[in-house]
Structure 1
């Protein structure tokens, strides 16, 4: 959003807020946004500019303090490699767009992106560049050193990529079989010198956050037939009252977590399948498609048909 506000009109910024179903004030107060909202914002900017490097440019202005929910984690680490390992190991926290395959070879770590959702090449390249340049921006601030990647492979035809080359310091290879970037081990060994403030450095990482993740894992495994709160309590060998209390202590509720899982499942089906809204409603376990439409609008501010029309063209 910062990049958009710097380079485009107020009307275009407001249109994007409307499209992703969140206002500027809400965005400033929330700690997390959905991956699809970030993805849509990048595609929106790309369509405005027709610049294949716009995602890299937008990512290059990120600051460590933009990662507020992750600062208690990052404050624990002593090297850049530990920070990167955390990011790769916790895609649910960092909003990862892709599955990855890691290998160590020739003194470097190689991170290969796996396009398991078969996203179109232009959109996938946008996501890939955004990820690489955001990691480089954060790494430079965390270590106080200019960080370069040694190699970037792009599974797309050759094009001008002056900004990505300058920002990454990498040798770029086009027409590759996959998207991949590599970084030398010596950079991963650099110490974290970023000065976290006392609150960031001393704040405890709440056990409630890991408990929420545990509940979400169970819900996703059970989907689309999601258990009731009492059934979830039985699965965890606790009482319904204890479950309610533990979730309340984490500032959430069972219904919010159920809605989150249903919303993410519905979005995934809309973006990655050819099912109709009626078929998705059935697959989601809704007996009435009108109930599904109302629920979806409650989740993200748009009915599913509008969201379908808004987002599916980006996957073509």
Structure 2
């Protein structure tokens, strides 16, 4: 059984690796919705063609993000993210198929999804909670992603997970609740597609599903697979920078100090991170925010002690920083998310 409150730091950014099947599915959807010219425009920007992609197991996060953003901005449809997710088929999941084939239930599949972001892909940190007869997945925007982009990614996620779950079980599965942190709009498509009660203007993006559905057996006719251990061979520059930040944390090195450790100039470091859609300060904030969330959820230290642990000499500065990261002050976050 999933834990009562389980915090997953699954956020992936920049040149961290992402499963290639996701990008292939997005490009197929772009071609079907926007045409071949739009497809070629996206492929030209991300530097990989559809034929080349057929031979890839992993791509970069920024490539997938770009394709998603292109689709969102080109389609005047607030439900396009959900429709994209629902277009996915189990047969397209290549690298995941050998891992899913031995699993007996939908709950086992969900556990695999939340525990293996490198194989599944993830744009967010999340809280997994057991609440009465439901599993709730709450998204935490620790990467401070643009709100409209983040909402699209959330709807894409629930669309793909729900559509694939229906195909895996052969059952009509419905979500219990879909909470959106955005203004109210026409929810008829989302309600019909998910079977859920949809609520707007919520504190967080969150979805939940009944444990009864998670108990369903997997009936998909997987072919026989030999044992496999998928790995990622490329070395991510973002992960290299994050590892140095973690190594010295809670002390935060100046930009020129970390550049020296990486044997490059501070200007080259800034430029490299900017090319990957990030910055040194943003990565530092990500590490601080994730550690702060872990300490708050552990409920072992008060806010002053947490601020000191994170290297803040002024607790008010920590409160302001945390609100900037998450959108809520630490005390409010604790009351809202404590298990």
TM-score by length of 1: 0.69
Alignment check: 8 A CA contact 1:63 1:138 kept: yes
1:166 is aligned to 192
Residue 226 of structure 2 corresponds to residue 203 of structure 1: yes
- Map of 1:1-316 to 2, 5 A cutoff? 1-198=27-224, 202-206=225-229, 209=230, 212=231, 252=233, 256=234, 260-262=235-237, 282=259, 285-288=262-265
Unaligned runs of 5+ in 1: 214-251, 268-277, 297-303, 310-316
Alignment check: 8 A CA contact 1:57 1:163 kept: no
Cα distance in 2, alignment partners of residues 186 and 150 from structure 1? 11
Deviates more, 1:89-98 or 1:175-184: 89-98
- 148 and 204 in structure 1: CA distance in 2 versus 1, 3 angstrom threshold: same
Cα distance in 2, alignment partners of residues 90 and 139 from structure 1? 17
Structure possessing the higher relative contact order (Cα contacts under 8 Å, 6 or more residues apart)? 2
After superposition, give the CA deviation of every residue in 1:90-145 in whole Å (9 maximum; x if it has no partner).
Answer: 11211111111111112111111111111121111001000000001110110001
After superposition, give the CA deviation of every residue in 1:164-186 in whole Å (9 maximum; x if it has no partner).
Answer: 22211111110000011000000
Cα distance in 2, alignment partners of residues 177 and 290 from structure 1? 38
* 1:29 partner SS: coil
Cα distance in 1, alignment partners of residues 261 and 219 from structure 2? 47
RMSD, aligned CA: 2.8
Deviates more, 1:122-131 or 1:153-162: 153-162
* 1:5 partner SS: helix
Cα distance in 2, alignment partners of residues 280 and 23 from structure 1? 38
| Structure with more of its chain in helix, by fraction | 1
Cα distance in 1, alignment partners of residues 75 and 237 from structure 2? 34
Alignment check: 8 A CA contact 1:281 1:288 kept: no
Q: CA deviation at 1:8?
A: 1.4
Cα distance in 2, alignment partners of residues 102 and 191 from structure 1? 21
Cα distance in 2, alignment partners of residues 161 and 109 from structure 1? 22
Aligned residues: 241
TM-score by length of 2: 0.65
Cα distance in 2, alignment partners of residues 129 and 100 from structure 1? 15
- 104 and 288 in structure 1: CA distance in 2 versus 1, 3 angstrom threshold: closer
